Amino acid sequence: MNKKLIAVLSAFSLCVSMTACSNKNNDTSKESKAGSTNISTTTNKNATTLLSKSSEEVETIRNIGTYIKLSDNNTTVEGSGVDVDGNVITINTAGTYSISGKLSDGQIIVNTDKEKKTYILLDGVDITCKSNSPIQILSSEKTVFAIADDSENKISDGETYDKAENNQDAAIFSKEDLTFIGNGYLQVNGNYDKGIVSKDDLMIESGNISVKSVADGIKGKDSIVVRGGKLTIDAGGDGIQAYNAEEEDKGYVSLEDGTIKITAEQDGVQAETNLLVAGGNIDITTGGGSKNSSSKDGWGQWDGGKPGESMKSNTTETEDTTSAKGIKASSVIQVDDGSINIDSSDDSIHSNSKLIVNNGDFNLSSGDDGTHADAELEINGGTLNITKSYEGIEATDITINDGDIHVVSSDDGLNAAGGADGSSTNGRPGQNKMESTTSGTATINGGYLVINANGDGLDANGNLTMTGGTAIVNGPTNGGNGSLDYDGDFNMSGGTLIAAGSLGMAQTPSSSSKLNTINVSLTSQEANTLIRVESENGDDIVTFSPAKTYSSVVICTPNIKSKETYKVYVGGSCSGKEKDGLYSGGSYTKGTEVGSSEISDVITNITQEGVSSNSNQPGGVGGNRGEKMTPPSGNNSSMENM
């Protein structure tokens, strides 16, 4: 038994020593790792994220420690530092302890020197307390629980408490720093309220820990850090929560490695300040999943009013909804790596300030927004797959520098709008989300973005800018929205844009763009019907198969050259390689020619015969929704003129 304790603590000492050395040589605790992407982080000075402070090295174990054998009204102790009063066992001296056995209604209490650490090996314990916390840490510099290899341990409380002055509310309750290590199994049942609570810092280095609670699963006031192990949480409240909002450098969550599975009725992971995801495998389900959408079916549906009016809800429901977001923070959320799967009834990832994605593999299904930030949202890399959302990517200012991004949305695919999302304060159905108080901007500098939207595809209350990358937009199919929707300018100086959707509210990039645009107006085309733009010599410029019914296609690419002539076809077939509807290589079997034109202006319009003048409103360059739209300047060629 003593050898097992020494082995666990020695391994922990070695692990932490290596971590400390690593952090000393690569200290990122004082600045955001986003600096490695050459992106300015001046707005991120307060993002302490992020990597959490290192664990302190465990000091040399000089005393073998004390062994406690639990038994109802017959607990025995080999060693010192322990008082036994019936089924209440109190550790009153800092040191190392090994515990095994069972208490059907009892407690382990740690009340030691506040300047010294206490180490406890759990080696096959089963402790139930029917009226209070089975394990309480009242005083200690830090308590480290080592879960013995191959051991199974269980801690459970009752449904009611006889509370003392310490306001215990969890099966494992600590007023001090709390750390878990080891490779054994620990099951925690919080039948009264929470599972595990620390009023200071809470760290999980390793272990197989399962928490089931009627309220929050794991709650740490100053911080929660997960560096390894396997963590499974089933919570009636939040899964993981750090709640210190009074101190700027406290109240943070850092998920750095390990396997984390959370099922929560409310938020999956919540930080009152900053939140870092640096690695690991994370699986979160909140609020019963995206099928229980917090946005309700009526949100985002145009109610038949005049173009330019705000979208209104068709529902009269007014009660507040509970926040059930996947990952949420009041300040900065930064994701540097990891595999993240979220199925949430509310936003999947939500920041009340800034969201930075540097890397990672995301699969998000949301009943509201896929990713949301009240202020800035920056994507520098990673693979982001939003399979379901009300709005896919939403913030006041959105910047995409890199990454492989796919978005499916019932409203806007990408929405840059000023003001806070009503969902951040549990907004009511019927309120307009992201009501604009300032202009919103969207900038695409690189990456690969594919949007399938029922509302607007790329939407900005201010300016859209594209300098590189690829953006493909499918939808909308209704005339009250457009593939592009901006109120300022849309300047393109690089990259490739293909936007296919409805015609009534269509817009093109601005005439001040450095790249040329071909704007095609069509009779209604079935989904997957090819549209082909080729040079006069038959060279492929764009061959694309939209995923939805469409009558407008906007194409902007460096390959569209001034003073050259291009032809547009619909239908036909292509033998090339297809990705997201875009073909490369192969041969094209021609369909119906729509028209052709020489590029003499930045915007060139090509209109298919049969498109009525009433429906042919391709949207003035920079035109505002709600204004009468006129065709942009440039050539307007159709089959009628040929």
Q: Per-residue pLDDT tens for 479-525? A: 899 999 999 999 999 999 999 999 999 999 999 999 999 999 999 99
Residue 593 CA, distance from chain mean position: 44
pLDDT in the model for residue 616: 38
Q: Does position 426 have pLDDT exceeding 60, yes or no?
A: no
545 in Cβ contact with 528 (< 8 Å): yes
CA nearest 382: which of 449, 458, 470? 449
Q: Does position 536 have pLDDT exceeding 90, yes or no?
A: yes
Segment 218-226 shows an average pLDDT of: 97
**Phi/psi at 423 (5° precision):** -70, -20
pLDDT of 74-110, one tens digit each?
A: 999 999 999 999 999 999 999 999 999 999 999 999 9
pLDDT in the model for residue 439: 81
HSE toward the beta carbon, residue 411, CA cutoff 13 A: 26
> What's at 205, amino acid-wise?
E
Segment 317-331 shows an average pLDDT of: 79
Beta strand extents in 191-280 (DSSP E only): 194-198, 201-204, 208-213, 218-220, 223-226, 230-235, 240-242, 252-255, 259-264, 269-271, 275-277
Preceding peptide of 476 cis, ω within 30°: yes
**CB burial string 148-160: b at 16+ within 10 A, e below:** beebbbbbbbbee
Stretch among 296-310, 407-421, 557-571 having the lowest mean pLDDT: 296-310
Cα 342 from Cα 326, distance rounded (Å) = 6
Beta strand extents in 401-538 (DSSP E only): 404-409, 414-416, 441-444, 448-453, 458-460, 464-474, 484-486, 490-501, 517-525, 531-535
pLDDT in the model for residue 235: 98
Choose the most confident range, by mean pLDDT, from 416-425, 447-456, 605-614.
447-456
CA distances from 593 to 245, 522, 540, 569 (A): 63, 11, 14, 4
Q: Is 20 helix (H, G, I), strand (E, B) or coil?
A: helix
Cα 110 from Cα 97, distance rounded (Å) = 11
Structure-token pair, residue 612: 């009525």
Beta strand 517-525 pairing with 550-556? antiparallel
Stretch among 15-29, 327-341, 507-521, 566-580 having the lowest mean pLDDT: 15-29
Q: Does position 311 have pLDDT exceeding 50, yes or no?
A: no
Residues 6+ apart with CB under 8 A from 360: 277, 335, 336, 337, 338, 339, 340, 382, 383, 384
**Which residue has tokens 């360059």?**
621
In the chain, the N- to C-terminal Cα span, in Å, equals 92
pLDDT in the model for residue 381: 98
pLDDT in the model for residue 511: 97
pLDDT in the model for residue 162: 87
Cα 10 from Cα 57, distance rounded (Å) = 10
pLDDT bracket for residue 321 (50, 70, 90): low
pLDDT bracket for residue 3 (50, 70, 90): low
Segment 226-246 shows an average pLDDT of: 97
**Which residue has tokens 């992020």?**
50
pLDDT of 601-627, one tens digit each?
A: 999 999 999 997 544 343 333 333 333
pLDDT of 469-482, one tens digit each?
A: 999 999 999 989 99
Choose the most confident range, by mean pLDDT, from 49-58, 330-339, 414-423.
330-339
pLDDT in the model for residue 130: 96
